[in-house]
Amino acid sequence: MSSTFRWICESTDGQARAGTLHTAHGPVQTPTFMPVGTAGTVKAMTMDAVRSTGAGIVLGNTYHLMLRPGAERVKRLGGLHKFMDWSGPILTDSGGFQVMSLGALRKLDQDGVTFQSHIDGSKHRLDPQRSTDIQHALDATITMCFDECPALPAAPEAIAASMRMSMRWAARSREAFIQREGYGQFGIVQGGTEPELRAESVKALTDIGFEGYAIGGLAVGEGQELMFSTLDVTTPLMPNDKPRYLMGVGTPDDLLGSVMRGVDMFDCVMPTRAGRTARAYTERGHINLRNARFALDARPLSPHCDCLACTRHSRAYLHHLFRADEILGPMLLTWHNLAYYQRLMRGIRAAIVDGTLEAHAAHLRAEWQAGDW
């Protein structure tokens, strides 16, 4: 069975697609939500717990891993799969976004970015070649182009200049990429919320040719309406036979609306970060378990969930764990939130296969609005 990196579309319903991404580290059903593994770990989760939620692919983080423990050290230890005990596909971001959002002091030039580590102040440089080399050393299944994600709002000419620099970096990233059977590299579409710039960026990337295409430059404060309207003008221009990855998105409602606009892959820190801050996602929206109203609530978080928190414990127990600042609280709630996100994506995929996505979407939205049980 060939392990050529390819995405096979199995069903469509409107703009939405249900498919399978075949990689050197196994297949992944799409649409898919990718849990974020920041420094080689999905925070507060063992990888057995991540596997139990049904996740097919996780994110690694070039920025964090290059600073600590260092990509060469991970390589000497057998690569990121072995290091973090995950044999499935791993997608690594190229690090530029994290530098801009985390790096202490940084200097951006037309060739890359120089910055100081937020950990120990040491000097580092990232550019298309170095980012691609680091992702190769980590043995990432999917490598992302080195790009710049401009802060919004910004003047169209600033967005245009930034996008064109990212397109030059995409070409250099492609030259630096070492092709291997079952591995892929994704270009990242930029252009802010400007339809013509988005179209120019898609053309620039498809002229280079990648195994998949991400939509970057969004989920940076533009709001859901502008994000959706940008998707409406961008996804139809993207190759139909390649996976589409919307970076950094999002809430359950963002995921539903984006799948319906033709997106296949997502990553977001929301379910894991929420798990550490007592915010639980359920079919009825979200609740904060620190709230006193849960002190005597003997019900499970969600009656539809098979995670450890919902099968073994009550809301009252989770409330207690967070009030007592017990480590088990973030562990159980992260597990639950990731299980909910995976269950949500499985349900959306099933509806695409059945051709019932419109009705399923209406049902999901009504439930989210109905409020807690």
**Smallest distance from the beta carbon of 284 to ligand PK2, in angstroms?**
25
Sheet holding 6-13, edge to edge: 6-13, 16-23, 26-30
String marking each residue 302-341 x if it binds Zn ion according to CB under 5 A: ---x-x-xx-------------------------x-----
Pick the closer one to Zn ion by CB: 113 or 307: 307
* The one among 247, 256, 344, 357 contacting ligand PK2 by CB under 6 A: 247
DSSP secondary structure letter of residue 237: G
- Stretch of residues binding ligand PK2 (CB under 6 A), selected from 89-97, 203-211, 282-290, 354-362: 89-97
* The one among 5, 7, 86, 97 contacting ligand PK2 by CB under 6 A: 97
In the chain, how many H helices and how many E strands? 15, 16
For Cα atoms 150, 38, 247, give the angle at the middle one, nearest 5 degrees. Answer: 40
**Smallest distance from the beta carbon of 336 to Zn ion, in angstroms?**
4
DSSP secondary structure letter of residue 172: H
216 contributes a contact to ligand PK2 by CB under 6 A = yes
User: Residues 93, 139, 147, 264: which is the catalytic one?
Assistant: 93
- Whole-angstrom distance, CA of residue 351 vs CA of residue 359: 9
Smallest Cα–Cα separation from 39: which of 90, 85, 84? 84
Pick the closer one to ligand PK2 by CB: 212 or 300: 212
Out of ligand PK2, Zn ion, none, which partner does residue 61 contact, by CB within 5 to 8 A per kind?
ligand PK2
Which single residue brings its beta carbon nearest to Zn ion? 305
144 contributes a contact to ligand PK2 by CB under 6 A = yes
* Cβ neighbours of residue 287 closer than 8 Å, sequence gap 6 or more: 279, 280, 294, 372
- Based on the residue annotation, tell me whether 354 is a catalytic residue of this protein: no
- Based on the residue annotation, tell me whether 93 is a catalytic residue of this protein: yes
User: Of residues 266-305, which lie at the interface with ligand PK2 (CB under 6 A)?
Assistant: 267, 269
Q: Cβ distance 219 to 152 under 8 Å?
A: no
Coil, strand or helix: which one is 266? strand
220 contributes a contact to ligand PK2 by CB under 6 A = yes
* Cβ neighbours of residue 167 closer than 8 Å, sequence gap 6 or more: 190, 201, 204, 205
248 contributes a contact to ligand PK2 by CB under 6 A = yes
Coil, strand or helix: which one is 154? coil
Out of ligand PK2, Zn ion, none, which partner does residue 187 contact, by CB within 5 to 8 A per kind?
none
User: Residues 127, 254, 267, 297: which is the catalytic one?
Assistant: 267
321 contributes a contact to ligand PK2 by CB under 6 A = no
E strand or H helix at 218: none
Q: Cβ distance 145 to 188 under 8 Å?
A: yes
140 contributes a contact to ligand PK2 by CB under 6 A = no
Report phi then psi at 181, rounded to 5: -55, 125
Out of ligand PK2, Zn ion, none, which partner does residue 97 contact, by CB within 5 to 8 A per kind?
ligand PK2
Question: Site for Zn ion (CB under 5 A): how many residues?
Answer: 5
Structure tokens at 31: 């649409």
* The one among 30, 61, 282, 342 contacting ligand PK2 by CB under 6 A: 61
Out of ligand PK2, Zn ion, none, which partner does residue 202 contact, by CB within 5 to 8 A per kind?
none
How far is CA 18 from each of CA 113, 229, 239, rounded to the nearest angstrom?
Answer: 37, 22, 15
Out of ligand PK2, Zn ion, none, which partner does residue 59 contact, by CB within 5 to 8 A per kind?
ligand PK2
Coil, strand or helix: which one is 134? helix
* The one among 44, 59, 126, 265 contacting ligand PK2 by CB under 6 A: 59
User: Of residues 19-48, which lie at the interface with ligand PK2 (CB under 6 A)?
Assistant: 36, 38
Most distant CA atoms of the chain, gap in Å: 60
- Catalytic residue ranges: 93, 267
Q: Which residues bind Zn ion (CB under 5 A)?
A: 305, 307, 309-310, 336
